[in-house]
Amino acid sequence: MKNELVALARSLGFSDARIATADNPRHAAEFRQWLADGCHGGMEWLARNADRRTQPDLVQPGARSVIALSLPYFQGGPPSAIARYAWGDDYHELIEQKLRALDEWLRARGGTQRCYVDTGPVLERDFAADAGIGWHGKSTMLLNRTGTWFFLAEILTTLEFPPDEPATNHCGSCTRCITACPTGAITAPHHLDARLCISYLTIEHHGPIPEALRPLFGGRIYGCDACLEACPWNRFAATSSEMAFAARDYVHDWKLRDFLALDDEAFRTLFRKSPIKRIKRARFLRNVCVALGNVGTPDDLPALLNAVQDADPLIAEHARWAIREIAKKNSLSEPS
């Protein structure tokens, strides 16, 4: 039955499907300490669900196995201001459809399941590592011999399958991911302080970006791939066959200032079925203003001056900061 399950998963587009025992995650204690240290920032749901995240039987009573799945998303091409995982359609919706097909197959064989893709109280990287999908990189990302560009999903099931062997670690003495982090968010091997992480700050953080960190963002406006791009294993990454992840036009063709012209309706239309839509217009344009403050030119000032008039104070404040930065770098009087 396990061979049939793996074959079905591969037919649905998953690159790997492996099994871990539904025991308590091996890094449960470290996770709780990470929360106690406040490294989760404003992601309070992580703390609220701490018990469930560290005890699978609270999520799915009677769980015997965890089916760990991976799906590549790498599309090749140069980096952009947007993290690669968000270049195309929202991976949640696409992968959830595939999980429903697996759930139906398992139910037909007597199983009861909980299926998640980055949405449930599961320490997914622990189970994926135990199942042999990959190993824990020093960046805290999971990686394997094909690199780092893959999504994870998991199914907690009451059915029992023979577990697979865990992956062995092949990072060796390499610390390129740590060195590459623009903000020093990887404070030690296998330890990330989300409060410093550009991905957290551009996506999960709701308020103003701390001014001391803004200059470190470079031109990034949604997420950060710095630690992933630095990983030597990515030289073996193959382009994903899932065309839903292909880059939309705005990923490479739009100027940063073009995004400032988006009103709410235009924002929703542009990012329909994109993961970017979840942060909504104000946070996204906040990020755009920070990026323009770092890499913008005087040609961007008219768009930023318009943004200063935006009704949302989050956008207006970051636009004012960007104007000051561009004026200072170009020895200009600050426009008003």
Over residues 294-310, the pLDDT tens digits come to 999 999 999 999 999 99
Q: Is residue 177 part of a domain?
A: no
Res 336 pLDDT > 80: no
Residues 113 and 209 in one domain: no
Provide mean pLDDT across the span 174-184.
98
Name beta bridge partners: 143.
Answer: 135
Name, in order, each residue with C-beta under 8 angstroms of 113's C-beta and a sequence gap of 6 or more. 60, 103, 106, 107, 155, 156, 157, 158
Q: Does residue 49 sit within a domain? A: yes
Residues 145 and 280 in one domain: no
Residue 306 lies in a domain: yes
Q: In terms of residue numbers, what domain contains 88?
A: 2-157
- 118 a catalytic residue: yes
Catalytic residue among 16, 51, 89, 118: 118
Structure confidence at residue 90 (pLDDT): 96
Q: Are residues 120 and 21 in the same domain?
A: yes
> What band does 334 get if pLDDT is binned at 50, 70 and 90?
confident
What integer is the mean pLDDT of 155-182? 97
Average pLDDT value for residue range 273-287: 97
Q: How sure is the predictor about 222, in pLDDT bands with cuts at 50, 70 and 90?
A: very high
Q: What is the pLDDT of residues 121-145, one digit of tens each?
A: 999 999 999 999 999 999 999 999 9
- Distances 104 to 99, 155, 156 between C-alpha atoms, Å: 9, 12, 13
Q: How large is the angle between the packed helices 280-295 and 313-329, nearest 10 degrees?
A: 10
The rounded distance, in Å, linking the Cα atoms of 10 and 69 is 10
Q: Percent of the chain beyond pLDDT 90? A: 96
On whether residue 180 sits in a domain, the answer given is no
325, part of any domain: yes
| pTM for this predicted structure | 0.95
Half-sphere exposure of 33 (CA within 13 A, CB side): 6
Q: What angle do CA 269, 271, 272 make, to 5 degrees?
A: 65
